């Protein structure tokens, strides 16, 4: 599993709240780091309030690092099938002061405990959470909740 200085990642696109929690428990995640710009979801159980409550009940911490979310223009590029445009927009976003502070926070936290980055996209190759891990200089291990 994960060692100090590594980060786990998970996407909830094809998960249910229970399969997500099971994957996090199995991986011994201590804190779930939500890297969505907007921590809302049309999928029941994945909006910030419901998700953080379920995690608390499971003994897993929750941290929303909004500054590590994809800006609106990047989300639009991803939705319209332009992943390279999304990556370029997101890379520029990560150069900002708030994003740099959030990356430093993430790196510090990952050195002290087992953390997992959360976003919607099922495939980590198409999600910004992989870019977040790379920008933080952290090796990533991708979890896949049971379907």
| pLDDT, tens digit only, all 147 positions of the chain | 445 579 999 999 999 999 999 999 999 999 999 999 999 999 999 999 999 999 999 999 999 999 999 999 999 999 999 999 999 999 999 999 999 999 999 999 999 999 999 999 998 888 899 999 999 999 999 999 976
Q: What is the pLDDT of residue 3?
A: 52
Q: What is the pLDDT of residue 147?
A: 66
Q: What is the pLDDT of residue 4?
A: 59
**Contacts within 8 Å (CB) and 24+ apart, 21-26:** 21/54, 21/55, 21/58, 21/60, 22/145, 22/146, 23/143, 23/144, 23/145, 23/146, 24/55, 24/58, 24/60, 24/116, 24/143, 25/58, 25/60
Q: What is the pLDDT of residue 2?
A: 43
Q: What is the pTM of this model?
A: 0.94
Q: At a CB cut-off of 8 Å and minimum separation 6, what does 40 contact?
A: 47, 48
Domains of the chain: 7-142 (3.40.50)
């Amino acid at each position: 599993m994960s060692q100090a200085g590594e980060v786990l990642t998970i996407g909830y696109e094809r998960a249910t709240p229970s399969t997500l929690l099971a994957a996090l428990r199995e991986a011994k995640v201590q804190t779930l780091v939500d890297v969505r710009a907007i921590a809302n979801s049309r999928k029941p159980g994945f909006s910030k309030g419901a998700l953080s409550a379920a995690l608390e009940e499971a003994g897993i911490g929750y941290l929303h690092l909004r500054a590590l979310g994809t800006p609106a223009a990047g989300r639009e590029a991803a939705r319209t099938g332009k992943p390279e445009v999304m990556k370029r927009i997101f890379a520029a976003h990560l150069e900002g002061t708030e994003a740099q502070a959030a990356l430093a926070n993430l790196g510090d936290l990952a050195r002290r405990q087992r953390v997992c980055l959360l976003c919607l996209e099922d495939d980590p190759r198409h999600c910004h959470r992989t870019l977040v891990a790379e920008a933080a200089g952290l090796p990533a291990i991708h979890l896949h909740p049971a379907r």
